[in-house]
Structure formats: C-alpha cells, structure tokens
Amino acid sequence: MISPQQFIEELRANGIDFFTGVPDSYLDALSACLSRMPPPSQHLIAANEGNAIGLAIGHYLATGDPAMVYMQNSGLGNAINPLLSLADRQIYSIPMALVIGWRGEPGRKDEPQHLKQGRITEDLLRVMEIPFHVLHKNSDIKVELAPLLQIMLEKSQPVALLVRGGSFAKPKSLEKKHTPELTASPRLLREKALEAVLDSAHNKTCFVATTGKTSRELFELRLKRNEEPVDFLTVGGMGHGSSVALGAALARPEKHLVCLDGDGALLMHLGALTIVGSLRPVHYTHVLLNNHCHESVGGQPTCAAGVDFKAISMACGYATFHFADSEETIRAAFAANDGKAGPHFIEILLKPGSRPDLGRPTVTPLHNRDSFIARLRE
C-alpha cells in the first residue's frame, strides 16, 4: 500500500506545498497526514470542492506554485464549474493536481448513490480534458506522478489521480480517528439526539435526513421503534437536504417538515439558508446536528466550532433559534416552537461518534422515495 507521508513528500519534491479539499473515506489517511503536518495554513479543509478549486487558483496566482486538491468523485459536480470556467487551459490555464477518491468503481461493491458516479468518472474526466492516472495500492508513486505532473506544468492545466479504495496505508499513529476534543465530553451522541427529536416532533412529521451516518442512524431507529422507515434519506448530494425539505414544504405547506442536517453538509451549501428564510415556510424546522467534524468520512474537523449559527439563521430570516445539548433541551426547543410560525432553527451540539455496528439502509433508494411520497401526500 502507498504511504500517505511519502506521497505528500513526493508532491512537495515536485513543487506542490499547498493542499486543500473535502474529506473522503478513501483518502482519510492522506487527509489525516496533511492535518498533522506543519504549518497548518498549508492544508485547508474546504467548505465544498468548488471552494477548494478556488483556493488552489488563488494560491497559484499569488505564488506561481500549483496546489493539490483532494475530493471524492461525487465532489466533481461541485468542482466542474470552476475547473472549466476558470482553471481550464482555454481560460486562465491554472496547473493543479486533483486527487480523487473513486467511489463506485465498476466491479467493486458500493452503495447505490456511488454506482452511477463511479461508472462515469473516467469518462467525465476525459470529457473535461483532464489527463489522469489510476492509483492503486501497488502503484509506484514516482512512476505515476512524474509524467502526470510534467503534463500539469508543461501545459499549465489541471491533472488528476483517480484513487482506488484501499490504496493508502493508514499508519498506526493515525488509526485513531482525529476527532475534536468533544469526544470525551458528556454531550449526546447523534443517535441519542435523533431519538429525542423523533419523540419531540409532531405526529406525522416528514423527515429529510442529510447524507452519511445521520440517515443510517435514522433508518435503524425506525426499525428499533417498530416504525415504518418513511423518511427521505439524502444518501448523496451532500448539503442539499435542506433544499429537498424546503421544496416539499412549499408544495405541502400543511405538513410539518424537519430537515436533519449536519455541520459539514450545512456549511457546504450555506446559501440555502437564505432561501429558506426568505420564503418562510411556517411548518419547517431545520435541525443542525453539530459535532464539529466530517465524522462519516474520518472525523476531520469542520469550521463549525467557530460559527455563530444563531446569528446566521436569524439574519437569513428564520423566525426562531434554539440551542440544545441534551434530551431535555431538545424537547424544550420543539415545545417552544409548537404553534408558532416558522421556519425554525434548532442547533444541537453533540460529541462525535457512532455505534461500531451501525448498519446501512436495507431498502433501495426507490423504495425510500416511494415511502416518503406516500407519507408526504397522505
């Protein structure tokens, strides 16, 4: 397997000393290594992949040195616009090295939301005219990087490494996931908070859950409670759960809609809050499950610890804000909103972590869709 430390050193030997991106489970050892390498300003976890491309462009303009941008292949959707309208050879011709985790690679078992993206990833890079090599656990880093980085510099353009699962070795020093100090706090785990939310919400509330472990835990809680799993699980499209919930709330204003969001997802497309606030759906509740990290892909920190979500949500037009950090305060927040016009924002401060035996939804996305439609339209 490839040593992430040696991979980073090889990039640095080729003039790349600035790293930015969005965490991915296939690249968790790499991003963990980057997070522990000084100086911290040389590695920035971006809000979304387009943000990372912009940072790489700005770094090159200021220094003349290319940057490395890492992401999951699903993140190419966020990156396409700045890659083609800014970094492309026909526009500003910006060299950068993309390191892309290849979820849903053909022939490898993966979750449904990754299969289409994985199947077309190579074709997508070809259509975008971005030269790429495939990296696997037996790859020789020098052999793979040298010709690709030569193209990057000679043609002054983006190039990509498509990384198969299991390519990077996880050093023993990094086996413990690098979650924030909240790990040892007395605060709730997300699953316990979700139970309190389910107990506190109106009967027949329609739930939209963000991608990652939130959706997985919600699904298993329904089964544990002998309830039908009728919630919309936003298994892909990170950051768009609040918009899905808003679209449903506007079409069915009599229904109570709750969006279960994560801090990484919310920050990825923060502008959606302005649309929710401006349209003021009266039965819309936006629940932020805030554990200050990208827990589903390795526990890398988000910027949420330094963000005033009360100020942001109220400035965007939300009618109420409540802070919660216990089952009692979660119930109190929902009770305080009962009978009041929304939209409502509830921030629940959590500690990172989840059950090691946490499963995945056992129904297909289409079954999930149809169950949610039936709940929404009943």
Q: What is the pLDDT of residues 135-159, one digit of tens each?
A: 999 999 989 999 999 999 999 999 9
Instruction: Say how far apart CA 211 and CA 112 lie, in whole Å.
Output: 13
| Average pLDDT score, the chain | 92
- Give the mean model confidence (pLDDT) for residues 116-130: 96
**pLDDT for 84:** 97
pLDDT band for 246, please (50, 70, 90 cuts). very high
Q: Does residue 180 have a pLDDT over 50?
A: no
The model's pLDDT over 288-331, given as tens digits with 9 standing for 90+, comes to: 999 998 988 878 889 899 999 999 999 999 999 999 999 999 99
Instruction: Say how far apart CA 98 and CA 158 lie, in whole Å.
Output: 7
pLDDT band for 181, please (50, 70, 90 cuts). very low
**pLDDT for 124:** 97
Query: Can you say how many angstroms the Cα of residue 167 is from the centroid of all Cα atoms in its chain?
Result: 21
Written as six digits, the tokens of 82 are 């700045």
Q: Does residue 286 have a pLDDT over 60?
A: yes
Structural domains in the chain? 4-174 (3.40.50.970), 181-377 (3.40.50.970)
Instruction: Say how far apart CA 270 and CA 47 lie, in whole Å.
Output: 9
Q: Does residue 208 have a pLDDT over 60?
A: yes
Are 201 and 259 contacting, i.e. CB atoms less than 8 angstroms apart? no
Q: Does residue 186 have a pLDDT over 80?
A: no
Q: Does residue 172 have a pLDDT over 90?
A: no
Q: Does residue 174 have a pLDDT over 90?
A: no
- Give the mean model confidence (pLDDT) for residues 107-115: 89
3-state secondary structure of 127: helix
Strands 300-301 and 293-294: antiparallel
Q: Does residue 195 have a pLDDT over 90?
A: yes
Q: Does residue 182 have a pLDDT over 50?
A: no
Burial class from Cβ neighbours inside 10 Å (0-12, 13-18, 19+) for residue 224 reads exposed
Query: Can you say how many angstroms the Cα of residue 10 is from the centroid of all Cα atoms in its chain?
Result: 28
Looking at per-residue pLDDT, the higher value among 37 and 95 belongs to 95
Instruction: Look up the pTM and report it.
Output: 0.89
3-state secondary structure of 314: helix
Q: Which of 112, 373, 133, 108 is nearest to 252 (CA)?
A: 373
- Give the mean model confidence (pLDDT) for residues 28-50: 87
Count of all residues that appear for the chain in the document? 378
Instruction: Say how far apart CA 323 and CA 332 lie, in whole Å.
Output: 10
pLDDT band for 185, please (50, 70, 90 cuts). low
**pLDDT for 374:** 93
Give me the sheet containing 206-209, strands edge to edge.
232-233, 206-209, 257-262, 284-290, 344-349, 320-324
**pLDDT for 12:** 93
pLDDT band for 247, please (50, 70, 90 cuts). very high
- Give the mean model confidence (pLDDT) for residues 230-252: 94
- Give the mean model confidence (pLDDT) for residues 22-51: 88
pLDDT band for 279, please (50, 70, 90 cuts). very high
